[in-house]
Structure 1
Amino acid sequence: MTQHNGPAPAADPGSAGNRTAVVITALGVESGAVAEHFAAGHRPLREADGTVYEIGTFHGEHGSWTVPLVEAGQGNTSAGIEVDRAVRVFGPDVVLFVGIAGGVKDVALGDVVAADAVYDYERGKDSEDGFVPRIKTRSSSHLLLQYARAAARRQRWCDRVRPAPPDGTPPRSWVAPIAAGGKVVGHDRSRTAELLRAHCGDAVAVEMEGYGFLQGAYVNPRVGALVVRGVSDLLNDKGEENDRTEQPRAARHAAAFAFELLDVLRSAEQQR
């Protein structure tokens, strides 16, 4: 398992300057959930090399972040390209992928998963004896995972969900592996679901961009990277009507966790 380095060294903690965190999403519902955390006011668009970024500002309890937001579309390839491009354009401290995923096991609707590893489950050899997986793995940044575990333990991210969820059992947060590939996995008895159970047994969720995103970060080792996903459906309980209600909720939960993580990073910076 290959890991890349963490964020570039932080500037003087006493500095009033913003840090920069690029956020990449695949879908409009995910971008909208991220933008809900931006400060009110002008959010300019910036075009660079054919990609358009919405530039937001996040004011946390412990400091501010400049947040270029880009909607990359679906798929590992586009996610990887946009990471590499955004790093060259903005030189960010961290890059985050924030979005939704399907739950494979253990997780419930609305839970959030910070991926400690992402499996490219589609790698393999198709022979006369059938498909033989040759799964590749990329990892999120060690330092960001440490802070993600702290954020998951504290559960304060739930207070950032917008709008505030109704009273009831709060969603859980996990730091666990996920799987990424080009297929929409539509049922828990599909061939892909069987492959995930057989060869990615500890993956708790499945999506379509995380591996490409971390591959883009891998070739830019001075930036910290993390995949954050909200669970919007379960492989044994999928449906279009369910998606209409659960996708926005899962996206808001993932965004809340991501911005809590950014504030935790600024808090830790002040203690150095």
Structure 2
Amino acid sequence: MIVILTALDVEQNAVLEHLIDLEMYEHDKGTLFDVGTIAEHPGHRVAVGITGAGTTTAAALTERARAEFSPAAMMFVGVAGGLRQKTAVGDVVVATKVYSYQGGRSEDDRFLVRPRSWELSHRVDQLAHRLCRRHQWRGFLPDHARATPPDVHFGAIAVGDVLLDSTRSDLAQRLHTSYNDAIAVEMEGSGFAHAAALGDQVPAVVIRGISDHADGHKADADHAGGQARAVANAAAFAVALAVSLEPESRSAPEDPVTSDPAPTTITNTLVARGNAHVENQIGTQFNGGLR
């Protein structure tokens, strides 16, 4: 089982497009998940949930999903603002490092950053890179996206409870100065990564599609279809990765070995010699001995 979480309905719907035999699963606290099988990949089961925006609910529902499903891996899938011109709208970002950028120390004349970060597990990183060889994952893209397929980027992302849509704001300048390796910015990944790290180190990955460049033109980019392309592409890569992460189900051994075999009842008939008379003896055989 793989768990995929999203923040928005449009992101969740993009993931559900790849699943069949969907059933609703209700957690006892009211959280609803859609559980299904990846189309054309029987045995690859996925539970999909929606957290809403922000790191706090992302963390809470990540832990809830982990405890409920005990997944082989978890993913957070959705959109992000690009912080580099090399990341075109529609491109996919696999987060190799997730920064929580809001921690710090505020002094009279300056803000000293005290970030936390979580890195992608080596195994997931290796599998994600392998998917990019010969563009294996593109088979999961919608038909209309295959004519101009997106690129996949591996890099750090910056996360906080702020929707960034400026290149000149104090936050934009802080990200440029103190998180200069970040190539995208979003609002849930750190809560997700933190909760996953606390949950017995379950493999977790944040996958984002670039919907805009956080430059004051987000509304225009969304209106031009940037968000729709971004969620479809991110979902396609996530589902391809889920297929590579989740092994095919294996049947049980045909002849299982029992640790405590059932006792066998045996009957011995003894023949007496001379004038002696002996009745039949009936006993139970345990590990080669008669009792």
Q: Does the C-alpha gap of structure 1 residues 142 and 268 become closer, same or farther in structure 2, counting only changes over 3 Å?
A: farther
Extract structure 1 runs of 4+ deviating beyond 3 A. Answer: 266-270
1:145 aligns with 2:128: no
Higher RCO (CA-CA < 8 Å; seq separation 6+): 1
Q: Secondary structure at the match of 1:64?
A: coil
Residue type matched to 1:193 in 2? Answer: A
Given the alignment, which residue of 34, 57, 67 partners 2:15? 34
In the superposition, the TM-score normalised over structure 1's length comes to: 0.85
Q: How does 1:95-244 map to 2 (within 5 A)?
A: 95-105=74-84, 106-165=86-145, 167-168=147-148, 170-236=149-215, 238-244=217-223
1:70 aligns with 2:49: yes
Residue type matched to 2:128 in 1? Answer: A
Residue type matched to 1:149 in 2? Answer: H
C-alpha distance in 2, partners of 1:265/1:154?
Answer: 18
Q: Secondary structure at the match of 1:56?
A: strand
Q: Does the C-alpha gap of structure 1 residues 195 and 60 become closer, same or farther in structure 2, counting only changes over 3 Å?
A: farther
Alpha-carbon contact 2:38-2:45 (below 8 Å) kept: yes
Q: Secondary structure at the match of 1:204?
A: strand
In the superposition, the TM-score normalised over structure 2's length comes to: 0.80
C-alpha distance in 2, partners of 1:24/1:248?
Answer: 17
1:75-127 deviation per Cα after TM superposition (whole angstroms, max 9, x unaligned): 11111111111111111111100110000013111110110111111111111
Unaligned runs of 5+ in 1: 1-19
Residue type matched to 2:104 in 1? Answer: G
Bigger Cα displacement from structure 2, 177-186 vs 52-61: 52-61
Q: Does the C-alpha gap of structure 1 residues 125 and 60 become closer, same or farther in structure 2, counting only changes over 3 Å?
A: farther
Q: Does the C-alpha gap of structure 1 residues 220 and 154 become closer, same or farther in structure 2, counting only changes over 3 Å?
A: farther
Please report how far the alpha carbon of residue 267 of structure 1 lies from its aligned counterpart in structure 2 after TM superposition: 6.6
Alpha-carbon contact 1:44-1:54 (below 8 Å) kept: yes
Identity, % of aligned positions: 35
1:30-78 deviation per Cα after TM superposition (whole angstroms, max 9, x unaligned): 0010000001x442232332311111211455x5322111100011111
Between Structure 1 and Structure 2, whose CA radius of gyration is higher?
Answer: 2
